[in-house]
Amino acid sequence: MNPASIIKIMKAKDKFTNNHPRFAAFLQMVFSSKLEEGTIIEITVTKPNENPITTNMKVLQSDLELFNELKEIIK
């Protein structure tokens, strides 16, 4: 990954954290301890004037590998 891309990602991460501090803190708390295979992640999205939509996923080993790669990029 080239340095310009890393800088762009870091700026976007900082902006996201500033815009959504509670959600960013939540993500940091969740990912600060080791996630284990079999962990369930659930998310609900509620758009204006629409019913909420919820889904979940069971974390696989390949997901853990992806999360670790992403964590390294945004450090």
Extended beta strands in 1-75, E state: 40-45, 53-58
Same domain? For 41 and 74 the reply is yes
Structural domain harbouring 22: 1-33
Quick one: pLDDT at residue 18?
97
Same domain? For 53 and 72 the reply is yes
Same domain? For 22 and 51 the reply is no
C-alpha 71/C-alpha 36 separation (Å) is 15
C-alpha 71/C-alpha 53 separation (Å) is 27
Same domain? For 41 and 70 the reply is yes
Domains in the chain: how many in total?
2
Quick one: pLDDT at residue 66?
92
Residues in the chain: 75
pLDDT tens-place values along the chain, 75 residues long: 688 888 898 899 899 999 999 999 998 898 888 889 999 999 999 999 999 999 999 999 999 999 888 877 766
pTM comes to: 0.68
Same domain? For 47 and 24 the reply is no
Chain-centroid distance, C-alpha 75: 13
Same domain? For 52 and 70 the reply is yes
